[in-house]
Copies of this chain bind each other. A is one copy, B any other.
Amino acid sequence: MTERTLIAIEDPADPRIVEFSQIRERDLTGRAGQFIAEGTVVLRMLAAANRAGRGIRAEKLLLLRNRVDGVADLLAAFPGDVPVYVAEAPVLDAIAGFHLHRGVLALGRRDVGDSTDTLIAALPQESLVLVGCGISNHDNVGALFRNAAAFGADAVLLDETCCDPLYRKALRVSVGSVLTTPYARSGSSQALLGGLSEKGFAIWALSPAGEVEIGEIVPQARMALVMGTEGEGLPKAILDRFHTARIAQSPGLDSLNVGTASGIALYSMAKAMGRLQG
């Protein structure tokens, strides 16, 4: 392994690391697809996505100086022309605006991805797709991607009212799965589901009042699971138009968390479709 050149940052206002400044308060998303990745696990996913060359690139890294030795193999996973900035803890905390105990950050960029229609058109004949409607909570969007990856969903499709999965917290909660799972975020949920329906997808909207228990769904070659928000759930127009499924629970209880509910439903559907390793 060649020795990596490290660029020392001593001034929190150094323009070379301005994208990492006050990262809690602002979010880079929307600015030409830039995003902040944090922690070694997510950075490893970023390095892999960067190598795969499918529209995700690492632009620069910023590390706590005392983490450098411990993450030598991670640094080696990034191309040599990705600059690596290092700072002592007080400087790094002043840049980020809070105490960064992880001390490992990257700036990434995602090209404008495929449109929802293009992504749907490219799905394999046997497909499982996870659809999010109105999921604005960053943790929940991150959880959807983590579960989609765990159970091998072919794509995540979000309507335009979902939050951007490249938000720092969504990306972190997804454990980097946002960088490896094909996804699109655009249009209304009705248009999105209409597009899937035209391509032969059996569409199952999850709701506490769903008609069919999730374990009783008859598998088909192409299936979509639709998740709404925790409070309001899915709009009536969607529940009326498509199949609805519920997760059996104890009587009288509040609904499950979106992440857990999507995990149970995806597991059940992927298993019924014969897609999981026993």
- Interface set of A (CB-CB < 8 Å, partner B): 41, 143, 146-147, 149-152, 175, 213, 215, 247-251, 253-257, 259-261, 263-264, 267, 270-271, 275-278
Cβ–Cβ contact A249 & B213, under 8 A:
no
Q: Tell me whether B257 and A271 are in contact (CB under 8 A).
A: no
Collect the chain B residues with CB atoms within 8 Å of residue A143's CB: 257, 260
Return the chain B residue nearest A180 by Cβ.
B253
16 contacts between A and B (CB under 8 A): A146-B256, A146-B260, A150-B254, A152-B250, A213-B278, A215-B271, A248-B271, A248-B276, A248-B277, A250-B275, A250-B276, A251-B277, A257-B259, A259-B260, A260-B264, A261-B263
Closest to A142 in B: B257
A254 to B42, CA, bound (A): 12
Q: Which of B152, B175, B259, B264 contacts A267 (CB 8 A)?
A: B264
Nearest CB to that of A261 among chain B residues?
A: B263
Tell me if B260 and A147 are in contact (CB < 8 A). yes
What are the residues of chain B within 8 A of A277 when measuring CB–CB?
A: 248-251
A260-B259, A267-B247, A271-B215 are contacts. A253–B147 as well, Cβ < 8 Å?
no
Residue of B at shortest CB range from A173?
A: B257
Q: Which of B248, B253, B271 contacts A278 (CB under 8 A)?
A: B248
CA gap between A82 and B187 in the complex, in Å: 49
Known: A151-B249, A250-B275. 9 other contacts (CB 8 A): A41-B254, A147-B256, A147-B260, A149-B250, A149-B253, A150-B256, A248-B276, A248-B278, A250-B270
Q: Which of B253, B255, B263, B278 contacts A260 (CB 8 A)?
A: B263
Among residues of B, the one whose C-beta sits closest to the C-beta of A175 is B254
Specify which chain B residues have a CB less than 8 angstroms from the CB of A255 in the assembled complex: 150
A256 proximity list for chain B (CB < 8 A): 146-147, 150, 263
The residue in chain B whose Cβ has the minimal distance to the Cβ of A176 is: B254
A267→B267 CA distance, assembly (Å)? 11
**B215–A249 contact, CB under 8 A?**
no
Q: Distance (Å) between the CB of A48 and the closest chain B CB?
A: 12
A257 to B175, CA, bound (A): 10
Residue among A149, A152, A255, A260 with the most chain B CB within 10 A? A260
7 A-B pairs closest in CB distance: A152-B250, A260-B263, A248-B276, A150-B249, A260-B260, A264-B267, A150-B253
Question: Within the complex, what minimum Cβ distance (angstroms) separates A205 from chain B?
Answer: 18
Q: Are B260 and A248 in contact (CB under 8 A)?
A: no
Bound Cα distance from A11 to B248, whole angstroms: 49
Q: Tell me, in angstroms, the Cα distance from A259 to B74 when the chains sit together.
A: 28
Tell me, in angstroms, the Cα distance from A3 to B263 when the chains sit together. Answer: 46
Chain B residues positioned under 8 Å from A146 (CB to CB): 256-257, 260
